[in-house]
């Protein structure tokens, strides 16, 4: 009688190989489902941050205009108007992560535009954005080869 109780205790110590393999395969399947959706989340987050940052640049450009009665294409002129964490060219690199910026000022028409295009578009397939003095974010549409409202 004592011997049969000991053998039952020894059998209940751990998991069988089959149980471990089943759990590992379930975790693998869940990871395979989750990873592509996380990449889409990263893309959406980077694009949203880009548009938000473009709006901040637009606000800074408008504040510069109110003080100086002209738009500027010089990034350092906007340092006083951007949030303090984003002054200086090195910090602007982090201001819009994964994007390159180009600001164009049309002094005769008193207009400007800021264009942000992805620096590395191979993995995330990021979109190109622009914002002009009307503060409406535009997204580049490859079908029409032009910018359209977002």
CATH of the domain at 39: 3.30.540
User: Structural domain tally of the chain?
Assistant: 1
Q: Which residues, at least 6 apart from 62, have a Cβ–Cβ distance to it below 8 Å?
A: 133, 135
Cα-based torsion angle of the residue sequence 118, 119, 123, 124 in order, rounded to the nearest 10 degrees? -30
Its domain, for residue 105, covers: 16-149
Query: Is 5 part of any domain?
Result: no
- For 29, how many CA atoms within 13 A lie in the half-sphere containing its CB? 6
Tens digits of residue pLDDT in 59-97: 888 888 899 888 887 777 877 787 765 555 555 555 566
Query: Is 79 part of any domain?
Result: yes
- Does residue 108 surpass a pLDDT of 60? yes
Q: Picking from 4-8, 99-103, 126-130, which range would have the lowest pLDDT averaged per residue?
A: 4-8
- Average pLDDT, rounded, for the chain: 78
């Amino acid at each position: 009688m004592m011997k049969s109780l000991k053998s039952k205790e020894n059998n209940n110590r751990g998991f069988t190989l089959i149980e471990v393999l089943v759990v590992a395969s379930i975790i693998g399947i869940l990871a395979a489902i989750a990873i592509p959706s996380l990449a889409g989340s990263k893309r959406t987050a980077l694009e949203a941050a880009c548009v938000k940052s473009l709006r901040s640049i637009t606000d800074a450009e408008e504040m510069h205009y109110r003080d100086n009665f002209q738009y500027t294409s010089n990034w350092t002129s906007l340092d006083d108007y951007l949030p303090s964490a984003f002054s200086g060219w090195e910090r602007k690199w982090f201001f819009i992560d994964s994007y390159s910026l180009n600001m164009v000022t049309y002094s005769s028409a008193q207009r400007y535009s800021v264009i942000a295009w992805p620096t590395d578009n191979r993995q995330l397939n990021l979109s190109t954005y622009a914002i002009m003095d009307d503060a409406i974010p535009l997204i580049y549409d490859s079908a029409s080869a032009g910018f359209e409202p977002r």
